[in-house]
Chains A and B, each alone.
Chain A
Amino acid sequence: MNTQDNNAIKLLEDASSLSELMSAVDALEKNDTSRELNWGVSSSVTMSQFGLYLRKYGLLSNIKINVLNGNYDDPLGDIDLFLKNNVDHAIFLPFFDNLMPSFEAQLACMSEDLIASKEAELRGRYRLALQKGGSMKVIFLCTLHSMSPLIDFSGNDVSRAILNRFNIALREEARQFPNVSVIDTEDILSFIGYQRAFDSRFYFRSKAPYTSAFLDELAKRVCLATRGFGSHFYKALILDCDNTLWGGVIGEDLLSGIGLDKHDYPGNIFWKIQNEILALEKSGALLCLCSKNNLADVDEVLEKHPSMVIREGHIAIKKVNWENKASNIRSLAQELNIGLDSMVFLDDSSFECEAVRQQLPMVKTFQVPKNLSDYPGLFSEIKKLFLAGGVTEESKSKTLQYRQRSEAEALKAQFENQDEYLASLGLKVELSLNLRSSIPRISELSMKSNQFNLTTTRYSESEILSMMDRDNFAVYSLVVSDKFGNAGLTGVVIVKYEGDKAVVDNFYMSCRVIGRGVEMVIWHQIIANAINRGCTHLHAKYISSAKNSLVNDFYDRLGLPVVDQFDAGREYSVSLTDFSPPPTLWITTEYVE
C-alpha cells in the first residue's frame, strides 16, 4: 500500500461529507483489492444509498464490494435477481412503518384479524425468500423497528407490542436457516438515537427513511458481524499487565498497592475490565500475557491478589520478561500456531503500542486510554472484534484445549523420540461421516483454517448441509482426543465421488492437532469407503495460498504421486489398490457412520 492509498483510507475514515466519502470510495475502488464480494440489498424502503457504506467498510477491510440493489419491497424477486447475478451475500431490511402505508399510525385502530394476517404474510414471505436463498453464503435479516421513541413511557404502547410480535416471527424464521443471521436494528437506534437516524423529508417523498448516520452504523455492524467480510478472525488477546490489568506497577506498588478494588476508583475500572476479559475467554478467545516484569511478581498477583478475576488457569501462555514485545508476540503466534493477523494486543504504553504497530502492523493494537473512564468504551470495541460474528459452543472451551496442548509440549521433552512421545499420548481419532449436529463447527473450521487447508475452499453451513444431503458427497469430520482431553472437532475431509474416482474436494484441520499423525490415519477408512462404492482412484489437489505452505507437500507425504503441476499448486492421483497411507500405529481410530 503506498502513501496515496493511505491518504485515501484516511479520507474514507474521516470523510465529513457525502461528496468526500463518494470521492474516497471511488478512488480506492480503482486499486486492485485482494478480494471482491457481491452483495445484494433488499428492502421495503429505498436503501440505494446503503451500498456506498457497505463499499466503504469493505474497502477498510481491503475488499471491493459490488452492490446490487433489489427492487422496491420484493424479497422473493430480489433473491432470484441475486442468484442470477452471482450475488451470494445479501441483507434484507423489511421496514415496519412501511409494511402498509403509515403502518404504525394505523395500528391503534386496526383490527386484530388484519394485524394477524399481516404478520402471517410477513413471516411467509420472508420464509420463502430465505428458503430460496439457502444456497447463498450469508444472509442478514434486519429486525423491524419503530420510527419514534415511546409515546406511552410505561411501554404499554400498542404499536410496540405488535412490533415485538412481528420481530419474534422474523427471528423464528431466521433461525431455521444456518446461513441467516439477524441484525437488531432497534439497537442501532438506541446507539445513534432516533433523531439522528431518520430524514423524514426523503421518507415521505422517496420512501428513503434513513440518514447517513444510520446507514453507516448498519454497514459497520455488517462488517463486524462478518469479521471484516471474512478478512480476519481474531483468536487471541495479548494483554500487558501494569496499568492494563490493574492500576499501578506491581514492581513498585507491590501486591497491596496495585489498584484493583471493585469498590474504589480506579480499581473498579480495572476490575470491570477483567470481568469483561474473562467473559471473552469463556467465549473462546485465548488470553496471553505480554508484560515487561519479573515473572515472580506477576505470578504472585495471579495467585494471591484477592481481587484478581483473571487467574493463571485462564491464561494460555505468559511472556513475562524484559524482551521486546514484538518478538514476544511473534513467539506467542508460533507457540499457539495462529497467525499474527488473528491477534489483538492491548497495552497502556504509547511506546509499546507504537513499537508493535510499527513492527507487526498485522496485529490489531489498542492503547488503554489516558482517561481511564474511557477504558470500558475502548474495551467494547475489542469485544466486538471477537464476538460480533457470534461464537459457537465448541469455541467456548478452546482455551482449555490449548492449555492441554501446552502441557503436552512440556511432557514432550521427557521422551527419547517423537514416536515414543506419541505412543504415550493415547491418541484416539473418531472419524464421522456426515455428522449433521456438527455442521456449524465444520463450516466455522473451514472459515478459520488457513495453514492446514489444502485448497482454502470455504464452506458455509448451508453448503455443508447440501453436501451431506447428496449421495455423491461424503463429509468426514474428525474428533481427536488423548489422555489430556478432547480436542474437539478439528479436521474435515470432503470427498466428491465422480464415477470411479473419489476426489478430495478439500481437507482442512485445526493447527492444534498437527504433528501427531492424525492427518494420516484417517485415510484408511476414507479409502475403504471409496472402494466399497466401486471407486478405483483417489484424486486430490493442493492449491497454494499466502498461508498454507505448511501443507504444500502433505499429499506427497501421504504417498500420492503428482500427476499435474501448475502455477498455483499440484494435482495428485493414485490407484486405490496401490495405495496405503504411512503407518500411524500409535493412534486408535473409531469410525461412526
Chain B
Amino acid sequence: MLNEDKLKQVMAVVLKVDVSSINEASSMDNIKTWDSLGHMNLILALEDEFKITIPDEDAGNISSYKLIKVVLGELLDGVA
C-alpha cells in the first residue's frame, strides 16, 4: 500500500513547497519548482524513500501527483 502522506512529504521537501499544497491536482504544470531538475530529484527521492526502482519510461512520464500514485502503487504491489 502506498503511504500517501509519505509521498506528499517527499514531494514537499524536494519541490520546496508546503506539504498542504500538494493534492490530487498537483502537476508539473502548476508547481513552479517542478522543472526538469526538480523532476529528476523527485524520481531519485521517491526511489530512495520507497526502496523501488522506477523504470525508464515511467521516470519520464510521471509528471503529476495522480500519475505518481498509479506508478508507485503498481511498483509497491509488485514488491508485496
Contacts and interface: CB of A to CB of B under 8 A. Distances in A.
Interface of A: 16-20, 22-23, 26, 46, 48-49, 199, 201-202, 205-206, 208, 212
Nearest to A18: B45
Given A49-B41, A206-B40, 18 more contacts: A17-B45, A17-B49, A18-B44, A18-B45, A18-B48, A19-B13, A19-B48, A20-B48, A22-B13, A22-B14, A22-B45, A199-B44, A201-B56, A202-B59, A205-B59, A206-B36, A208-B40, A212-B44
Main secondary structure of the interface of A (DSSP, over half): helix
B37 interface: yes
A19 B56 contact: no
Contact of A23 (B13, B36, B48, B59): B13
A72 to B, nearest CB: 12
Contacts of B40: 49, 202, 206, 208
A49 B43 CA distance: 13
B10 interface: yes
B10 A19 contact: yes
B59 A19 contact: no
Contacts of B13: 19, 22-23
Contact of B59 (A16, A22, A201): A201
Given A22-B14, A201-B56, A205-B60, A16 B41 contact: no
Contact of B41 (A18, A20, A23): A18
B64 interface: no
B63 interface: no
Contacts of A212: 44
B27 interface: no
Contacts of B59: 201-202, 205
22 contacts: A17-B10, A17-B48, A17-B49, A18-B41, A18-B48, A19-B10, A19-B13, A19-B14, A19-B49, A20-B48, A22-B13, A22-B14, A22-B45, A26-B16, A49-B40, A49-B41, A201-B59, A202-B40, A202-B59, A206-B36, A206-B40, A208-B40
Contacts of A48: 37
Main secondary structure of the interface of B (DSSP, over half): helix
Nearest to B38: A48
Contacts of A208: 40
A390 B51 CA distance: 40
Closest 3 CB pairs of A and B: A17-B48, A18-B45, A19-B13
Contact of A19 (B37, B45, B60): B45
Nearest to B58: A201
Nearest to B56: A201
A17 B46 CA distance: 9
A520 B10 CA distance: 62
Contact of A16 (B9, B10, B48): B48
B14 to A, nearest CB: 6
A105 B71 CA distance: 34
Contacts of B45: 17-19, 22
